[in-house]
A and B are shown apart, each in its own frame.
Chain A
Amino acid sequence: MKKTVALVALVALAAILPPAAAFADGGSILVKNGTVLTVTKGVIPRGDVLVVGGVIKAVGENVAAPPGVRVVDAAGRYVLPGIIDSHTHIALAGTNEGADAITPEADVGSVINADDTAILTALSGGVTMVHTMHGSANPIGGANVVIKTKWGRPSEELVVTEALPTLKFALGENVKQSNRALQPGQAQRYPATRMGANAIIRREFERARNYMAQWDRYRKAAAAKNPAANLVPPRKDLRLEVLAEMLRGERVARCHSYQATESLEFMELAKEFGFKIQCFEHMWEGYKIADELRAAGIGISVFADFWAYKMEAAEGIAEMAGYCHNKGILVSINSDSGERIRRLFNDAAKTMKYGGLSEDEALRLVTINPAIQLGVDRIVGSLEVGKQGDIAVFSEHPMSAYTRCDMTIIEGDVYFDRDALVKEREESAAKAAAPGGEGGVS
């Protein structure tokens, strides 16, 4: 199995990216003559974006290429910041530590799989950065990680260290395990109700508070003039250490939830214990509590219209993302999928029809908004001088149904180039068709 995956990955690499194409640009590139959608600084009808050493040096008209810098002609095409997926599970060797209900110590950053071909799928949809997350099996899951989709680079190089540390929480059907059939002899895991899910999260934060108090007491005692001879430190608890980070404000919650009540109650817990909810995930009933979300400054990361796949998703409405955006909530459209990830721009465009958003607003839902949610809007999410050179080039306006991603660039290096790929495919087919041809991948 492993062998097959590795082989396929090799074949895929060979098919998609001719050797040396990915890194030959040395982090510098000039994308010329496209319609530049900066997201934060308006639209330049015929503009250029210059990246040098991985960083955007110029966005404007008639930008000249420094000597030796590759020039890409984007005439007739659209140039936008790389798309950011605020919630997915790609490029991980594992997703859920489901044996226990409370697993904040399970850090998905330790199991990044840089060989997952879903990274290529993401690139083919213009995606340059993803928040790849622990699953929703547990009320308190594990830490998540933000990575760039630098196919071919080792996992350590993918990690975006500037991103906000996040911890996955989950509520509702998945943690209740109400859609699972128990094996004979298997006991139902606690919690099996929304009551239990809320209670277990409260219990863990109480324990974390207590744990912090134990350490405070110990440190004070240890710092005293004459510490007791038998003074011993509290037992180190890796689970509670992570929750202590939350209580100190060093880590934020990303909470999978669907229903209004469970979400409001999680907000009560956040108030009670003083931790920050950065975002509710999926949140199909978000429109029912839009005012509460806005008042609490909580964002949502949601599907455009993928719904009715379970009870708690049966009151999702396609108008939600647009409605909540118009209410002043920070909204992103996520994929949660290694397939949907390549059409996030299509999903964002649906908010124009169902939420009345403008093209510019809709594009924000998959660029600057997820960047803000991930705490990386200083470095990505828009085309601005000084930000990282993460760029997607599209054949039509990205909010058109007829559009197609033609090129994806990360920090000035080309990671996906459709024109090159099609050319190679045509040459290969011609070779195969020629008399005495060696055959090739069609």
Chain B
Amino acid sequence: MTARGRVIIAALLAAAVASAAASAADAAAEAGPARRGGADGAAGAGGVRGAGGADAKVAAITNVRIVPVVGAEVASGTIVIEGGLIAGIGAGVAVPAGAEVVDGTGLRAYPGMIDSYSQLGLVEISGVAATVDNRETGRINPQVRALEAVRYDSMHIPIARSNGVTAAVVAPSGGVISGVSCLLRLDGWTNREMAVKPMAAMHIELPGLGGGRGGFAAGRMGAGTARVDGPGILAELKALFAAARAYEKRRDAAAKDARLPLPEFDETSEALLPLLKGEMPAMISVHGERDIRAAIAFVRDEGLGAVFYGVEQGFKAAGELAAAGIPVVLGSLYDLPPVWEDGYDAVFRNAGVMAKAGVKVAFSSSSSSLAKDLPYHAAKAAAFGLDRAEALRAVTINPAEIFGVADRMGSLEKGKAANIVLADNDILELRTKIVRVWIDGRECDLSNRYTELLEKFKKKGSNL
């Protein structure tokens, strides 16, 4: 079959899957975080994953250098995996009888990394519209949910996983309200099975700064001008939120009193209510200094939980961000400064400046095909002033805290899900090889599109 044929079939399959997921979603729309027993998983039906009962397996990684992210490093210790959780961790931990023993001599154990903004499962081949599902048409789309379209067998997921990324926020984009993201564990046979948070955040986008990027034939830096129409859009959102609150009052009043007229179903308001009730944060794409200040005031006035995304001029408003307690998810560092006068290294030093001011920062791939590069964005920021330990936190515990899952992931601690990455060196380094990966205590298959194609064509041999 041709490559094109294969992809067309894959796309058809994906479409069928998405439509099945959509109908399943009708039934389970407000199901909330999919709990699967234990810290997501031990013995529940959802935990069975082909391997059948793999969750129940007891394993111990021994003689390994433990980098727990929270707490002190252990030069040589043991991690016990039981029931999908970290059952024991430290220097003097005994190996349970019958456990599979993994000798970690010469290796380091890290918590799996978390990508705070990705397109995994929504964008397969960016230039082929049939495989792109992250950007709905129109401006106001709070009703669309990333989880319901995630292609769980995306070729990009195993590649990211085999580089130590074990969870990712999958975000919709475009328009003003882009939709609802989900937080996925990067292991599972269906989209719902992968969901750690089906409704992670409501995505709002303020205008970009222009400039930046620098793709093919780019290099027009300086053409970017600081756009400041964010406040206008925020005013529009305030009106929309007020309407949703008013709708809720009418709806609830009518539910209690049959004499009152029943308001017509309002899809937008219904979809906004979980955000307005604090059931999820707003994740606001905001870029310029003035818009950042406006957005800080906006979330304060509206009483919203908030995460800011992008925040290219955050270094100019770091104090205010810190004072407001709003965490920041950096966009891809594979970008030029949108405003040239900010300096050639603005994108690189931004995270360091904000972290020093007390802002909680996290990195993102902002990609699907390069989601595997998450650690390198953190390392790049470290080259330009971010403390190296903070860089590691910004791809592990910080995103876990930002998205409310620090009770189960983001660090290697007893009782947390066993999301463990064994690496032969510093996990943020380009040359480091990831040796083994566990997600919820299940060891992952590290083969992927790269390795499959390579192995296939290695067999070709020379025909010359």
Q: Does A131 contact B (CB under 8 A)?
A: no
Q: Does A105 contact B (CB under 8 A)?
A: no
Question: Which B residues are in CB contact (< 8 Å) with A117?
Answer: 219-222, 340
Q: Which of A311, A314, A404 has the most CB of B within 10 A?
A: A314
* Closest chain B residue, CB of each to CB of A90: B219
Contact B214 A309 (CB under 8 A): no
CB distance from B455 to the nearest CB of A (A): 10
Q: Which of B218, B342, B432, B461 has the most CB of A within 10 A?
A: B218
Contact B7 A118 (CB under 8 A): no
Instruction: Choose, from B87-95, B183-191, B376-384, the stretch at the interface.
Output: B376-384
Contact B384 A339 (CB under 8 A): no
Contact A288 B460 (CB under 8 A): yes
CB distance from A418 to the nearest CB of B (A): 8
Q: Which of A9, A119, A402 has the most CB of B within 10 A?
A: A402
Question: Which B residues are in CB contact (< 8 Å) with A262?
Answer: none
CB distance from B319 to the nearest CB of A (A): 13
* Closest chain B residue, CB of each to CB of A416: B344
With contact pairs A15-B343, A309-B127, A396-B383 given, residues A121 and B369 touching in the complex (Cβ less than 8 Å): no
Contact residues, B347-369 vs A (CB, 8 A): 368-369
Question: Which A residues are in CB contact (< 8 Å) with B376?
Answer: 346, 401
Q: How many residues of B contact A (CB 8 A)?
A: 61
Contact B341 A11 (CB under 8 A): yes
Contact residues, A322-360 vs B (CB, 8 A): 323, 336-340, 343, 346, 349-350, 352-354, 359
Contact B449 A317 (CB under 8 A): yes
With contact pairs A339-B218, A353-B430 given, residues A308 and B369 touching in the complex (Cβ less than 8 Å): yes
Q: In the bound complex, how far is the Cα of B456 from the Cα of A319, in angstroms?
A: 13
Question: Which A residues are in CB contact (< 8 Å) with B256?
Answer: none
Q: Does A377 contact B (CB under 8 A)?
A: no
The 8 A CB mask of B119-150 against A (1 = contact, 0 = none) is 00000111110000000000000000000000
Question: Which A residues are in CB contact (< 8 Å) with B369?
Answer: 306-309
Q: Does B370 contact A (CB under 8 A)?
A: yes
Among A11, A317, A396, the residue within 8 A (CB) of B453 is A317
CB distance from B285 to the nearest CB of A (A): 19
Interface residues of B (CB under 8 A from A): 3-4, 7, 124-128, 155-156, 213-223, 316, 334-336, 340-345, 368-370, 372-373, 375-376, 379-380, 382-384, 388, 428-433, 449-451, 453-454, 457, 460-464
Given contacts A12-B340, A291-B463, 7 further A-B contacts (CB under 8 A): A15-B343, A92-B217, A117-B222, A306-B369, A314-B7, A317-B453, A346-B376
Would you list 24 pairs from A and B whose C-beta atoms are within 8 A, ordered by A residue? Answer: A4-B222, A15-B341, A89-B217, A91-B219, A117-B222, A117-B340, A121-B336, A135-B216, A288-B457, A291-B463, A305-B370, A308-B155, A310-B126, A311-B125, A314-B7, A315-B453, A318-B450, A319-B454, A337-B216, A339-B214, A353-B430, A354-B450, A396-B383, A421-B343
Interface residues of A (CB under 8 A from B): 4-5, 8-9, 11-12, 15-16, 89-92, 95, 116-121, 124, 135, 179, 287-288, 291-292, 295, 305-311, 313-315, 317-319, 323, 336-340, 343, 346, 349-350, 352-354, 359, 395-396, 399-404, 418, 421, 425, 441-442
